[in-house]
Amino acid sequence: MKKNIGVVPAVYPMPVLIVAAYDKDGKTNAMNVAWGQICDDDKIILFIGEGKKTWLNIMESKAFTVAIADKAHMAEADYLGIATGNKVSDKFARTGLHESKSDLVNAPVIEEFPLTMECEFLELAKTEYISGIVGKIVNVKAEENVLDEKGKVDPVKLQAIMFDQFRNGYYMTGEHAGQAWNAGIPIVKK
């Protein structure tokens, strides 16, 4: 039997995305964003509070990167969600992470995270209820050690962490449960 538990953000899993952008002086800032999602084959939407340092940087630079946080860098990813760039001027430097400039957009690529989307800012999708940064993914960079023999990202090798909004935990992806666009075929054939 189901029990009413009230209003909670009950979507699981939530990706742990590390969003990075340069400020007007070319200084890197990055933040941990759990409220983000692919919204088309080549587009991503990020729900970042207006006025946050990374939000301001994206509005200024019109570009950003989105990295998938992994188990090996969970502490750094968590810190990027705890500290605010509006109060900690050396926030990115404190992590010990390294960055290089993207070849395709005016944004930093954080070297330690195994998968990064390089994005151009498209628009701020704003209504009475939401405010989302929409970006066009112009390229994805992936470390070779997270790719399978066909050159596709292997979720197990990626060791991406996910955010659990129920208990504020991080979990890893793992076991393959089934194949999309295939598991439901027996029902289609009924």
Name the domain count of the chain.
1
- Give me the mean pLDDT over the 64-91 stretch: 96
Kindly report the length of the chain. Answer: 190
- CATH (domain of 38): 2.30.110.10
**Whole-angstrom distance, CA of residue 146 vs CA of residue 165:** 26
- Range with the lowest mean pLDDT among 24-33, 75-84, 178-187? 178-187
pTM as predicted: 0.94
The answer to whether position 2 is within a domain reads: no
Is there a contact between 19 and 64 (Cβ–Cβ < 8 Å)?
yes
The answer to whether position 155 is within a domain reads: yes
The answer to whether position 9 is within a domain reads: no
Question: What is residue 15's predicted lDDT score, i.e. its pLDDT?
Answer: 92
The share of the chain scoring above pLDDT 70, in percent, equals 100
**Whole-angstrom distance, CA of residue 22 vs CA of residue 43:** 20
Is there a contact between 156 and 174 (Cβ–Cβ < 8 Å)?
yes
The answer to whether position 141 is within a domain reads: yes
Alpha helices by DSSP H, listed for the chain, are 53-61, 74-82, 91-95, 155-158, 185-188
**Whole-angstrom distance, CA of residue 127 vs CA of residue 115:** 31
Domain carrying residue 56: 14-188
Which residues, 6+ apart, have CB-to-CB distance to 127 below 8 Å? none
pLDDT per position as a tens digit, 61-74: 999 999 999 999 99
Confidence grade of residue 175 (pLDDT, cut at 50, 70, 90):
confident
- Cross-sheet strand order for the sheet of 161-164: 14-15, 161-164, 169-172
Which structure tokens are listed for 40? 């088309």
The share of the chain scoring above pLDDT 90, in percent, equals 87
The answer to whether position 31 is within a domain reads: yes
The answer to whether position 37 is within a domain reads: yes
| DSSP assignment letter at 137 | E
The answer to whether position 4 is within a domain reads: no
Which structure tokens are listed for 123? 């628009």
The answer to whether position 58 is within a domain reads: yes
Please report how many Cα atoms fall inside a 13 Å half-sphere around the Cα of residue 87, on the Cβ side.
5
**Whole-angstrom distance, CA of residue 17 vs CA of residue 70:** 10
